[in-house]
């Protein structure tokens, strides 16, 4: 059964293939190949939404991507509720469920429509002026209310179950837009043998050939020619044809982003199908053939459902076989609306009248309309549309004033002319130029290797467009390395040509009027709003745009920008080019987050790095923390232990017996070569030339500004070989810093740098029993204090595998770090663990490591330093070689501010109440009674409960800190002020005897 407005014999859809769907819970029948828009129109439904600000009833303005009004929510299931889908591009599938948006409680009766009556309150700039004061009210009162009342549709509240694919592609010629011009360009390029990609946003190729009924190319109808040409292109190995694919962004060096909608048009897409596919294409040449977009007429109540672009009505008729009304009025300022009237009249639809603003236009379409008996009124304007939920009449007046006449209609088709789609050209950083004769912005100066063809560059007429495009396609291919083509240029036997029209408000909506003549439908911007913005001082089009929000909705002003600009120019009394065009930005149409994110979500969002002992730690109950990309064991709770209890036990056990800790994430760099020591002298503050082979030293690395950049223990394995360790987080940047100096400042040094972080697993064995645990497993290394003192390194074997055995300590206890090739890491850990069990050792994680080092006042770069701390500030002056004449940072260290008195220095803090643990980051003041804002003199950098000390301990950066030993300072917190005493940084074993204990 045919829907009421489906015209038999019209359109290209097969009426046998029906599809049922629902809109706002009401069932309808459409046809396969329909869009949601054409299917609703076939059923006589025009009212599909409410506008954003005034909640005015809205219908379909267009039949394509420029649609500002007909935004709906498409619901597939609980997790798939896509808001703001343009009904004019959503293809129908059997079972489609759509709902209207931005209305409550129902579409026909919407409480928010009170905003329309109260509209003087909501004029341009209303939000900026009204919601400024009082200051507190924005966050608590205004913003939540505005957010609740505004919004377009409802975001899904479940994770997106779909997947999104991504492809990179390269080609010689990329053609954007698959209308007559784009197809002609692609044919010409393809015939030369180069790689060609042709993309179009529609489901079917053809562009305006979908509605241009009289076009004939190569002896066939225009649309049929397009389909044949596409079939030919698809059959060629060097051509990729992408339909449902929108070029949304044009980036540097002919890098174009496209989104292909793979399965949104399918009834039940299989899980194997992506929802969308992101194409990132690099093209040697780009041919832009994006066509033009018809403009509406700006007159009172031009937003009533049933008022639409003439080309849209023509598309609905000629492609979908749908009449948008039975008694239709036409309001135009150029020829192209006549063609719509003629096609509809021939299909048996009554054309109530054509109202043409022009005084005495002449031409074949006007003659044809007249011959068909259509009433034509020249020099007249439609000054108002009647009706509310659907247009019911148009009021016509001579354009310079005079008697009004009201004509009953159920639809009004309008055309103010065509705006070339220069969006992608402009995104490519090309500069548009204003053609004063045709009142259009067209491509002017090109910034990239691209060319615009057809109506998007202001070429009028099908034949001229096809000729231009074919030549441009051939030229682009030749420039990109193609051979001469053998094909023949398509011959246009008949085609239409549109030009001219008008910009700005039509009579009845001009200066001095207050009618609602919409310029931007989606953001509810009227001609009056734009004039008001200028009167209030917005003289640049960018300011007018932001003040009125004209062109700032999701449609980005595809239909509104030129009208808005013209009204602003008229009000300013300046020519249009002097007012300027707003910048076109990507994306051309909205792009889903899914297509940008692609597969990079969940576990694939970011790499995860695991150490060799990860599995062992997990099976022994470790709780992990994220440190950069690394998963590190944080603590190892036993049954019934919380984090506090586990860390207390681990801390005590390490100092009493021993502990095993995975330190593999520390960065490791091997510095090798005849000049290795010289290089180390330049990169670190310490002296290295005299460090004996087999000994280690704590090194500090500065930036040239004199601030601490990184630190770590360095072992000299041979005269020409250093094993350097870095902080976990600093490993990549330290490597980069070293390479930078080696390659660019000290290239005369014969040195090689190799990252060995992932090659060596590192097991720290710390505590009085550490030597007893390791020694039985080691071959060929004398571990006595005489042979292997603190801060030494030996190479030998452990458990039969090679090891670099460091004697070093980040706990203050006798300690070792066992380096073994990463593949043996877990096995050696297991062996050490088994030995450790005999001595009461514990495994410990990063939290205990932090507490133990803080008990000894060992700093962590990046926690106790922040990029503004010098070695002296950190109490590490001893590590700066006083006799050295050069190292990176040596000059920075003597800058006036870095040697000034009163700098923040690292000190210890003890709370007066030993049970109180300070918050890291808490601010410190000298006088807690001073007025707010208080003078901060420092902040807490590290703070822990120390079970070994039986009290809390903290490190802090405090102005003039070392001169404040014993002073009482204050840490103001929300629940009261905490008293603290300034102390030294070492809380355990101040003399360092336990290193050999």
Partner 1 sequence: MLLIRCPYCEEERPELEFRNAGEAHIARPTNIAAESDDDFEKFFFIRANPKGVIYERWRHIHGCARFFNAVRDTVTDRFVMTYKAGEPKPAKLPGASK
Binding interface with partner 1 (CB under 8 A): 251-253, 255, 280, 282, 429, 447, 704-705, 736, 739-740, 743-745, 747, 885-886, 890-892, 894-896
Paired tokens of 559: 């239909």
User: What span, in angstroms and rounded, lies between the C-alpha atoms of 209 and 455?
Assistant: 13
Alpha helices in 243-298 (DSSP H): none
CA distance 960 to 937: 9
213 or 686: whose CB is closer to partner 1? Answer: 686
The Cα–Cα gap between 610 and 544 comes to 54
- What lies within 8 Å, CB to CB, of 771 at 6+ separation is 783, 814, 816
Q: For the CB of residue 895, give the shortest distance to partner 1 in the complex, in Å.
A: 7
Contact 79, 19 (CB under 8 A): no
Q: Which of 743/837 has CB closer to partner 1?
A: 743
Residue 65 or 283: which CB sits closer to partner 1? 283
Nearer to partner 1, 167 or 891 (CB): 891
Alpha-carbon distance 130 to 113, whole Å?
20
DSSP structure class, residue 104: S
CA distances from 520 to 53, 296, 429, 752 (A): 11, 10, 25, 63
404 vs 739 by CB, closer to partner 1: 739
Give me the least distance between CB of 443 and partner 1, in Å please.
17
User: DSSP per residue over 318-366, as a string?
Assistant: HTT-B-S-SEEEEEESSTHHHHHHHHHHHTT-EEEEEEESSSS--SHHH
The DSSP bridge partners found for residue 196 are 173, 239
Q: Considering the complex, what minimum distance in angstroms separates the CB of residue 597 from partner 1?
A: 16
Name residue, tokens 């133990």.
852
The whole-angstrom separation of Cα 332 and Cα 94 is 37
Q: Which helix (H) or strand (E) holds 434?
A: strand 431-435
Listed residue (442, 672, 558) closest to 67, CA to CA? 558
In the complex with partner 1, which residue's Cβ is closer, 448 or 941?
448
| Minimum distance, C-beta of residue 451 to partner 1, in the bound complex (Å) | 18
Closest distance of CB 894 from partner 1, Å = 8
Smallest gap from Cβ 429 to partner 1, in A, equals 7
| CA 560/CA 68 separation, integer angstroms | 10
Q: What's the min distance (Å) between Cβ of 447 and partner 1?
A: 6
> CA-CA distance, 994 to 656, in Å (whole number)?
11
Question: Please, what is the minimum distance in Å from the beta carbon of residue 552 to partner 1?
Answer: 26
From the CB of 448, what's the least distance to partner 1, in Å? 9
CB of 283 to partner 1, least distance (A): 12
357/368 Cα distance (integer angstroms): 18
CB of 199 to partner 1, least distance (A): 18
Distances (CA, A) of 431 to 366, 425, 426, 435, 582: 36, 8, 6, 13, 12
Minimum Å gap between C-beta 744 and partner 1 is: 5
3-state SS assignment for residue 818: strand
Q: Give the residue ranges of DSSP H helices in 480-516.
A: none
Looking at beta carbons only, is 11 or 706 nearer to partner 1? Answer: 706
Least Å distance between CB 891 and partner 1? 5
Output 504 or 730, the one with its CB closest to partner 1.
730
**Residue nearer to partner 1 on the CB measure, 251 or 434:** 251
**What's the full length of the chain, in residues?**
997
Which CB, 34 or 681, lies closer to partner 1? 681
Residue 661: half-sphere exposure toward Cβ, Cα within 13 Å: 31
User: Nearer to partner 1 by C-beta: 889 or 908?
Assistant: 889
Nearer to partner 1, 735 or 955 (CB): 735
Least distance to partner 1, CB of residue 745, Å = 5
Closer to partner 1 by CB, 127 or 251: give it: 251
Residue 25 or residue 886: which is nearer to partner 1 going by CB?
A: 886
Cβ nearer to partner 1, comparing 170 with 483: 170
Decide if 6 contacts 322 (C-beta within 8 A). Answer: yes
CB within 8 Å of 107: residues ≥ 6 apart: 24, 47, 48, 49, 50, 57, 100
**Surface-to-core class of residue 986, CB atoms within 10 Å of its CB (0-12 exposed, 13-18 middle, 19+ buried):** middle
**What long-range pairs does 963-966 form, CB within 8 A, spacing at least 24?**
964/907, 965/907
**Using CA atoms, how far apart are residues 176 and 186, in angstroms rounded to an integer?**
9
> Measured from the CB of residue 255, what is the shortest distance to partner 1 in angstroms?
5
Q: 521: helix, coil or strand?
A: coil
Report the first-to-last Cα separation within the chain, whole angstroms.
96
- The DSSP bridge partners found for residue 81 are 75
Q: Which is nearer to partner 1, 282 or 609 (CB)?
A: 282
How far apart are CB 129 and partner 1 at their closest, in Å? 36
Q: How far is the CB of 198 from partner 1 (least distance, A)?
A: 22
Q: Decide whether 885 or 975 has the Cβ nearer to partner 1.
A: 885
Cβ neighbors of 601 (< 8 A, separation 6 or more) are: none
- DSSP, residue by residue, 10-70: -SSS-TTSEEEEEETTEEEEEETT-BHHHHHHHTT----EE-TTT--EE----SSTT-SS-
Q: What are phi and psi of 835, to 5 degrees?
A: -65, -40
Neighbours of 327 (CB within 10 A): 13
User: 495 vs 587, which CB is nearer to partner 1?
Assistant: 587
Q: Least distance (Å) from partner 1 to the CB of residue 444?
A: 16
**What residues contact 679, with CB distance under 8 A and at least 6 apart?**
671, 673, 738, 742, 746, 749, 751
């Amino acid at each position: 059964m045919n829907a009421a407005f489906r015209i038999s014999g019209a359109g290209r859809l097969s009426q046998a293939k029906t599809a049922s769907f629902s809109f706002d819970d009401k069932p309808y029948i459409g046809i396969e190949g329909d869009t949601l828009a054409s299917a609703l129109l076939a059923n006589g439904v025009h009212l599909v939404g409410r506008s954003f600000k005034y909640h005015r009833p809205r219908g379909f303005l267009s039949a394509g991507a420029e649609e500002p009004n007909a935004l709906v929510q498409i619901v597939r299931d609980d997790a798939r509720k896509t808001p703001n889908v343009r009904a004019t591009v959503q293809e129908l599938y059997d079972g489609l469920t759509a709902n209207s948006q931005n209305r409550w409680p129902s579409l026909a009766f919407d409480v928010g429509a009170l905003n329309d009556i109260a509209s003087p309150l909501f004029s341009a700039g209303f939000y900026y002026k009204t919601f400024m004061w009082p200051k507190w009210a924005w966050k608590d009162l205004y913003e939540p209310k505005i957010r609740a009342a505004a919004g377009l549709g409802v975001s899904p509240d479940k994770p997106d179950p779909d997947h999104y694919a991504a492809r990179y592609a390269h080609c010689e010629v990329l053609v954007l837009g698959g209308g007559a011009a784009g197809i002609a360009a692609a044919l010409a390029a393809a015939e030369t043998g180069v790689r060609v990609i042709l993309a179009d946003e529609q489901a079917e190729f053809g562009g305006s050939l979908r509605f241009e009924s009289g076009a004939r190319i190569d002896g066939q109808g225009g649309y049929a020619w397009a389909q044949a040409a596409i079939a030919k292109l698809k059959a060629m190995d060097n051509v990729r044809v992408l339909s449902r694919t929108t070029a949304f962004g044009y980036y540097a060096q002919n890098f174009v982003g496209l989104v292909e909608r793979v399965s949104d048009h399918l009834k039940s897409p299989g899980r194997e199908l992506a929802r969308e596919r992101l194409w990132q294409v690099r093209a040697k040449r780009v041919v832009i053939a994006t066509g033009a977009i018809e403009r509406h007429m700006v007159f009172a109540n031009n937003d009533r459902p049933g008022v639409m672009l003439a080309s849209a009505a023509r598309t609905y008729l000629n492609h979908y076989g749908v009449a948008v009304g039975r008694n239709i009025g036409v309001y135009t300022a150029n020829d192209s609306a006549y063609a719509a009237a003629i096609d509809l009249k021939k299909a048996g639809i009554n054309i109530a009248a054509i109202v043409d603003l022009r005084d005495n236009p002449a031409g074949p379409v006007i003659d044809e309309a007249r011959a068909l008996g259509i009433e034509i009124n020249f020099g007249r304007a439609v000054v108002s549309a009647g009706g509310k939920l659907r247009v019911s009449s148009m009021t016509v007046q001579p354009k310079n004033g005079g008697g009004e006449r009201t004509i009953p209609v159920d639809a009004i088709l309008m055309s103010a002319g065509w705006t070339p789609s220069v969006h992608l050209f402009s995104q490519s950083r090309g500069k548009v130029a204003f053609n004063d004769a045709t009142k259009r912005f067209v491509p002017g100066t090109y910034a990239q290797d691209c060319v615009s063809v057809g109506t998007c560059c202001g070429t009028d007429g099908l034949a001229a467009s096809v000729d231009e495009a074919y030549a441009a396609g051939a030229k682009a291919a030749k420039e990109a390395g193609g051979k001469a083509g053998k094909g023949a240029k398509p011959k246009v036997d008949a085609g239409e040509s549109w030009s001219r029209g008008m910009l700005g408000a039509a009579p009845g909506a001009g200066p001095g009027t207050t009618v609602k003549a919409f310029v931007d439908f989606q953001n509810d911007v009227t001609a009056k709003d734009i004039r008001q913005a200028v009167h209030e001082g917005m003289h640049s089009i960018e300011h007018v745009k932001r003040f009125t929000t004209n062109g700032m909705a999701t449609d980005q002003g595809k239909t509104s920008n030129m009208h808005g600009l013209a009204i602003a120019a008229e009000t300013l009394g300046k020519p249009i080019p002097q007012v300027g065009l707003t910048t076109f930005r990507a994306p051309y149409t909205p792009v889903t987050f899914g297509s940008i994110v692609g597969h990079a979500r969940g576990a694939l969002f970011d790499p995860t790095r695991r150490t060799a002992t990860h599995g062992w730690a997990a099976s022994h109950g470790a709780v992990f923390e994220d440190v950069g990309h690394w998963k590190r064991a944080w603590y190892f709770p036993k049954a019934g232990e919380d984090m506090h209890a586990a860390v207390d036990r681990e801390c005590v056990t390490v100092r009493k017996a021993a502990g095993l800790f995975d330190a593999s994430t520390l960065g490791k760099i091997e510095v090798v070569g005849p000049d290795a020591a010289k290089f180390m002298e330049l990169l670190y503050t310490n002296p290295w030339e005299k460090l004996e082979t087999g000994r280690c030293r704590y090194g500090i690395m500065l930036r040239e500004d004199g601030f601490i950049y990184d630190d770590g223990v360095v072992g000299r394995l041979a005269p020409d070989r250093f094993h350097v360790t870095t902080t976990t987080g600093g490993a990549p940047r330290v490597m980069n810093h070293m390479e930078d100096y080696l390659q660019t400042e000290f290239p005369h040094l014969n040195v090689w740098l190799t990252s060995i972080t992932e090659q060596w697993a590192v097991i720290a064995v710390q505590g009085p029993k550490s030597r007893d645990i390791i020694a039985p497993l080691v071959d060929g290394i004398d571990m006595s204090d005489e042979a292997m003192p603190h801060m030494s390194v030996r190479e030998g074997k452990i458990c039969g595998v090679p090891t670099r055995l460091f004697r070093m300590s980040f706990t203050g206890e006798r300690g070792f770090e066992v380096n073994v090739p990463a593949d043996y890491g877990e096995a050696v850990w297991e062996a050490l663990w088994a030995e450790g069990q005999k001595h009461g050792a514990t495994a410990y994680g990063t939290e205990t490591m932090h507490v133990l080092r803080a008990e000894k006042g060992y700093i962590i770069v990046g926690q106790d330093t922040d990029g503004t701390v010098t070695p002296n500030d950190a109490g590490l002056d001893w590590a700066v070689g006083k006799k050295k004449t050069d190292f990176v940072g040596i000059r920075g260290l003597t800058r006036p501010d870095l040697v000034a008195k009163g700098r923040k220095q690292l000190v210890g803090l003890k709370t007066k109440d030993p049970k109180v643990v300070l918050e890291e980051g808490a601010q410190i003041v000298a006088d807690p009674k001073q007025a707010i804002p208080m003078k901060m003199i420092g902040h807490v950098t590290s703070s822990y409960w120390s079970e070994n000390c039986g009290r809390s301990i903290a490190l802090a950066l405090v102005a003039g800190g070392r001169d404040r030993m014993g002073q009482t300072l204050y840490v103001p917190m929300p629940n009261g002020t905490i008293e603290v005493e300034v102390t030294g940084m070492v809380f355990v074993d101040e003399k360092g005897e336990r290193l050999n204990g």
